[in-house]
Chain A
Amino acid sequence: MASITLKDLVKAYGDTEVLHHVEGEISDGEFIVVVGPSGCGKSTLLRMVAGLETVTSGTIRIGDKVVNQLEPADRDIAMVFQNYALYPHMSVRENMAYGLKIRKISKDEIARRVEEAADILELRPYLDRKPRQLSGGQRQRVAMGRAIVRNPQVFLFDEPLSNLDAKLRVQMRLEIRKLQQRLGVTSIYVTHDQVEAMTLGDRLMVLNGGYVEQFGTPIELYDRPATTFVAGFIGSPAMNFLPATVSAGMATLGNGAQLANAGAANGAVTLGVRPEHLLQDDAGPVRVTVELVEQLGANSLLHGKLEGTDIEMVVSQPGHMSAAAGTVMGFAPAAGALHLFHAETGKRIEP
């Protein structure tokens, strides 16, 4: 078991810097999810921790050892790849045993560890099959088994569920989480799926364009997003952003509507409010022209535009709701649910 420290980490290809001064402390046994849109550098970060990419500057520490110059095999890590990367010519048993065989661990010990992992992952009936005879979910399990038998200090997951269908993904997500809690191994998990990130992570690192936007618990990120990027990325459906001008605690929207409790800011801001925090109120200040209602059963999603403007809005209401296109409905934000961001930098303005 070990903690991981990332200090002032930079990755550049030639003159192009793709990761900018990433900092992070991951404590022992923690499950960290690195999340962001494609191309944000999240996989690069993971591969640097794995030792598959060189570090341009800064240090990576696993436990109390700086691992910058170590080969992947000497870092005491195990990695699960997106396409599993199982050796196609080896049976499941051989796939799991390969790393141990190279480490010259005794045959009995290898057999014991492989069977233990196979029991945990319910792979025992498949031990003598080749990877191509397995389903996607089973291959995924073998890839995890290969990581478990090594008994490493750190697990690294590179979008391991993106090749599975939706139902299996939810199931495997739970399994990964349970497994990690049971083994207590420090883990870094990379994904672009914010639901996966919210449900799996003890803490989330949101990356955008090579910068760390925010690093905190899922609830912190949901309740107090540091930037408009985080606010829009975390939560589904995404937060509504309304340009507004604030003076003396009152925010004026583009269509002239006024909202109270807008905090201490002054001048141009971006006002953020989550779809589920808008409550139906005929006298409410936020008036939306309905375009379409999506009935999801447990709740209804109302898509429309802020009255008199072109700003797209989504409102989520519990239960069933129907409204004809073109009708205007009033909503009021729940108490304390307004987020204020600087209009230019997108940074959060604390109330």
Chain B
Amino acid sequence: MVENRPVLNVITHLVLILGIVIVALPIWITFVASTHDAVRMTQAPIPMLPGGHFWENFTQTLLGSGLSGTETAPVWRMLLNSLAMALMIALGKIAISLISAFAIVYFKFPFRMMFFWLIFVTLMLPVEVRILPTFEVVADLGMLNSYWGLSIPLIASATATFMFRQVFLTIPDEMLESARIDGAGPLRFFWDILIPLSRTNIAALFVILFIYGWNQYLWPLLITTDTDMTTIVMSIKQMLEAAEQSPQWNIIMMTALLAMLPPVFVVVAMQKLFVQGLTETDK
């Protein structure tokens, strides 16, 4: 729309700025809290401007033992755990879904549609619903306190399978026929044609799934008892309840800030592909 109404412009800007303030304020408070010392953070009113203890808090949180007086793992270890879990979940989900969507779209086998609907039905069974039986299985397999235990139960994904199915259905049949005449077998077709054509969709899904994996709370809480296997998201909550003392907000907020960084980095790095993957329809 081409319009020239100054009043309307001012109003729209005000609305947008208000929206940004509402979204950004908690993040600002997190940042400010991470730059003061522990004593200042227990006094009211809480500061709204940054203090001078950022690097001190940063090194203590990331490399030191985090909260003083507790036995938790250093935050760099938690970040590593979270990163491993999120990557395994995202890449695992993408790999499994690509293969199952490939089977469902391009192969004729008995009960094909039944399998598709079975996969689809699992959408109704998120981790929280099946958490007890899943825990039992993982415990019996001896995967408690391991990266496998953290990621494998979350890897099966109906959403991603369904999405790749839709992507594959938009690829014209001639592409498959052309590849068959060129002499490409199913696996070659998969690697040489399907994967490159779904590149942007894979990237978009990776972003979504990475954040999904990174933000997992309940499942890691349940199956990790070893402090070496704690993930960063669950540890923030644990820090609040730490050993009979008032919460050390500066350290907790610094942890929260560090927990936010990897997802932000992934989104920023893959922004272009992410948008293309969600909007592009041309094959």
Chain A, interface size category, equals 20 to 34
Instruction: Assess A102 versus B180: contact at CB under 8 Å? Given A87-B175, A87-B193.
Output: no
**Residues in A whose Cβ lies below 8 Å from that of B178:** 79, 81, 85, 87
Which of B74-82, B182-190, B201-209, B225-233 contacts its partner? B182-190
- 29 residue pairs of the A-B complex, CB under 8 angstroms, read A52-B180, A52-B181, A71-B180, A72-B180, A73-B180, A73-B183, A73-B184, A77-B181, A78-B181, A79-B178, A79-B181, A81-B174, A81-B178, A83-B172, A83-B174, A85-B172, A85-B177, A87-B179, A87-B193, A89-B196, A89-B197, A89-B199, A98-B182, A98-B192, A99-B181, A99-B182, A99-B183, A102-B188, A146-B182
Instruction: Kindly name the residue among B175, B179, B183 whose own CB sees the greatest number of chain A CB atoms within 10 A.
Output: B183
Given that A78-B181, A102-B182 are known contacts, is A88 also in contact with B197, CB under 8 Å in the complex?
Answer: yes
Which A residue's beta carbon lies closest to that of B196? A89
Contact of A102 with B181 at beta-carbon distance under 8 Å, contacts A87-B175, A89-B197 already known:
no
| Chain A stretch 45-85: residues in CB contact (< 8 A) with chain B | 50-52, 71-73, 77-79, 81-83, 85
Per a CB cutoff under 8 Å, which of A73, A88, A89 touches B181? A73
**Shortest beta-carbon contacts, A-B, top 8:** A73-B183, A85-B174, A99-B182, A85-B178, A89-B196, A102-B183, A72-B181, A81-B174
> Are B177 and A81 within 8 A (Cβ)?
yes
- On A, residues with C-beta under 8 Å from B are 50-52, 71-73, 77-79, 81-83, 85, 87-89, 98-99, 102-103, 146
**Interface size grouping (class) on chain B:** 10 to 19
Candidates A52, A98, A99, A103; contact of B177 at CB < 8 Å: A52
Q: What is the CA–CA distance of A77 and B180 in the complex, to the nearest angstrom? A: 11
Specify which chain B residues have a CB less than 8 angstroms from the CB of A87 in the assembled complex. Answer: 175, 178-179, 192-193
Let me know if A103 and B183 touch, CB within 8 A: yes
Cβ of B193 to closest chain A Cβ, rounded Å: 6
* Complex contacts, A72 vs chain B, CB 8 Å: 177, 180-181
Tell whether B5 is near chain A: CB-to-CB under 8 Å. no
Complex CA distance for A73 and B174, rounded to whole angstroms: 15
User: Does residue B130 face the partner (Cβ distance < 8 Å to A)?
Assistant: no
Q: Chain B residue with minimal CB distance to A147? A: B181
CA distance A78 to B177 in the complex (A): 11
Task: Given A52-B177, A72-B180, A73-B184, output 12 extra A-B contacts at Cβ < 8 Å.
Answer: A52-B181, A71-B180, A77-B181, A78-B181, A83-B174, A85-B175, A87-B178, A87-B179, A88-B283, A98-B182, A99-B182, A102-B183
Question: Which residues of B have CB within 8 Å of A52?
Answer: 177, 180-181
Distance of A100 Cα from B199 Cα, bound (Å): 24
Q: Of all chain A residues, which has the CB nearest B193?
A: A87
Task: Look across to chain A and name the residue whose beta carbon is closest to the beta carbon of B197.
Answer: A89
CB distance from B181 to the nearest CB of A (A): 5
- Across the interface, name the chain B residue whose C-beta is closest to A74: B183
A81 proximity list for chain B (CB < 8 A): 174, 177-178
CB distance from A88 to the nearest CB of B (A): 7
Q: Which residues of A contact B172 (CB under 8 A)?
A: 83, 85
Chain A contacts of B188 at CB under 8 A?
A: 102
Q: Which residue of A lies closest to B177 (CB)?
A: A52
A146 to B181, CA, bound (A): 11
Q: How far is the CA of A82 from the CA of B182 in the complex (A)?
A: 17
> Shortest distance in angstroms between B172's beta carbon and chain A's nearest beta carbon?
7
Complex interface: chain B residues within 8 A of A98 (CB): 182, 184, 192
Nearest to B188 among chain A residues (CB) is A102
Contact, CB under 8 Å: B182 / A73: yes
Please report the C-alpha to C-alpha distance between residue A88 and residue B180 in the assembled complex, in whole angstroms.
16
Question: What residues of chain A lie closer than 8 Å to B174, measured between beta carbons?
Answer: 81-83, 85
Distance of A144 from chain B, by nearest CB (Å): 13
* Distance between Cα atoms of A87 and B191 in the complex (Å): 13
Which of B175, B178, B193 is packed against the most chain A CB atoms within 10 Å?
B178
- Shortest B17–chain A CB gap in Å is 40
CA distance A176 to B192 in the complex (A): 29
Q: Which of B153-192 contact A (CB under 8 A)?
A: 172, 174-175, 177-184, 188, 192
Complex Cα–Cα for A179 and B73 (A): 73
A51 to B180, CA, bound (A): 9
Q: Which residues of A contact B199 (CB under 8 A)?
A: 89
Question: Quick one: closest B residue to A83, CB to CB?
Answer: B174
Give Cα A82 to B177, complex, Å: 12
B179 contacts which chain A residues (CB < 8 A)?
Answer: 87
Q: Could you give, for residues 220-248 of chain B, a 1 whenever the CB lies within 8 Å of some chain A CB and a 0 otherwise? A: 00000000000000000000000000000
